[in-house]
């Protein structure tokens, strides 16, 4: 995720980081080169005049813009839902940490349970980003549990199972009343629901056919556009075509990037920072000194 102060309006026109220009530069250069060639040849192709006007492109442009708007809205909906689910993980983890520290009778050490909540968040991030399941879990869980996670397909679910077993132990030992244990179990269910929601987003992309149709339409439109403009605006054709193609290519690229919000691209969710925030919040509840908050790198990116 790009985290930076909003620059001056003039600098905002020229900024590269976050503009997606590096990602779409090859196709942008191709369209600009084609537009320059069409302007130089006055729309002739092998002594054959391509008789196109701007009228059909006005109708096609409106339709294409509507499709692009739907695509970017669908992608952003997935992105925002993912952020809400991770926000729910933070809230529920805090609630469970508070309950484990205050509800059981005296003599129950809930520190390992709270560290297990941190481990759940870290393991959930690892699964969504296809990292080793035990990455960052050292010191948060018993070694026997970590060994089970290394080969597990759905490791966060096993951590939830272990957390539920801890609650059951407190209940069976008489340190937690059955009613309070049931309440904590319901709160653990909310973590499972958030995990399932993130798995649904990660495993169900937008229909591939829609992406193909939109991609082809954008390229065909931008390739044909110079022939429809050259007779009316002449050498201004490359400038207009460059602006239009940048808008279409950048929107398509952005929608493709945030469609998978749990990745590590510049505009994806900063899962490492979110997990770090959960870690700091729960360690403060334990009375420990939390680690320093992560900061964006030199390119203003927070992973």
Least confident piece of the model among 30-44, 114-128, 208-222: 30-44
Report d(CA 34, CA 60) in Å as an integer.
20
* Domain assignment of residue 245, yes or no: no
Answer whether 0.85 is exceeded by the pTM. yes
Going by C-alpha positions, the residue among 211, 209, 215, 241 that lies closest to residue 228 is 241
* Domain assignment of residue 49, yes or no: no
The answer to whether 164 and 188 are in contact (CB under 8 A) is yes
Residue 208 has pLDDT above 80, yes or no: yes
* Domain assignment of residue 28, yes or no: no
Domain count, the chain: 1
* Domain assignment of residue 216, yes or no: no
Q: Coil, helix or strand for 181? A: helix
* Domain assignment of residue 148, yes or no: yes
Convert the pLDDT of each residue in 171-187 to its tens digit. Answer: 999 999 999 999 999 99
* Domain assignment of residue 277, yes or no: yes
pLDDT band at 294 (very low <50, low <70, confident <90, very high): confident
* Domain assignment of residue 61, yes or no: no
* Domain assignment of residue 241, yes or no: no
Range of 115's domain? 82-204+272-288
């Amino acid at each position: 995720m790009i985290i930076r102060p909003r620059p001056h309006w003039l600098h905002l026109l020229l900024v590269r980081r976050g503009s997606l220009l590096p990602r779409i530069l090859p196709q942008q250069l191709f369209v600009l080169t084609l537009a320059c060639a069409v302007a130089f040849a006055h729309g002739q192709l092998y002594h054959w005049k391509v008789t196109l006007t701007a009228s059909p492109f006005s109708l096609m442009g409106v339709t294409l813009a509507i499709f692009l708007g739907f695509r970017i809205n669908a992608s952003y909906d997935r992105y925002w839902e993912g952020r809400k689910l991770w926000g729910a993980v933070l809230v529920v983890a805090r609630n469970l940490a508070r309950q484990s520290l205050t509800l059981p009778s005296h003599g129950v050490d809930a520190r390992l349970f709270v560290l297990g909540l941190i481990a759940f968040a870290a393991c959930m991030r690892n699964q969504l980003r296809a990292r080793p399941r035990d990455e960052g879990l050292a010191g948060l869980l018993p070694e026997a549990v970590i060994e089970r996670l290394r080969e597990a397909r759905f490791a966060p679910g096993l951590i939830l199972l272990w957390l539920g077993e801890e609650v059951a132990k407190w209940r069976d030992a008489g340190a937690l009343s059955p009613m309070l244990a049931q309440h904590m179990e319901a709160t653990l269910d909310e973590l499972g629901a958030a995990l399932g929601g993130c798995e649904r987003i990660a495993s169900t992309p937008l229909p591939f056919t829609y992406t193909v149709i939109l991609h082809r339409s954008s390229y065909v439109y931008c390739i044909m556009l110079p022939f429809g403009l050259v007779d009316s605006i002449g050498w201004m054709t490359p400038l207009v075509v460059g602006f239009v193609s940048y808008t279409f290519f950048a929107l398509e690229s952005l929608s493709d990037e945030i469609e998978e919000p749990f990745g590590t691209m510049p505009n994806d969710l900063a899962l490492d920072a979110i997990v770090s925030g959960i870690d700091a919040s729960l360690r403060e509840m334990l009375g420990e000194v939390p680690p320093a908050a992560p900061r964006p790198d030199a390119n203003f990116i927070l992973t």
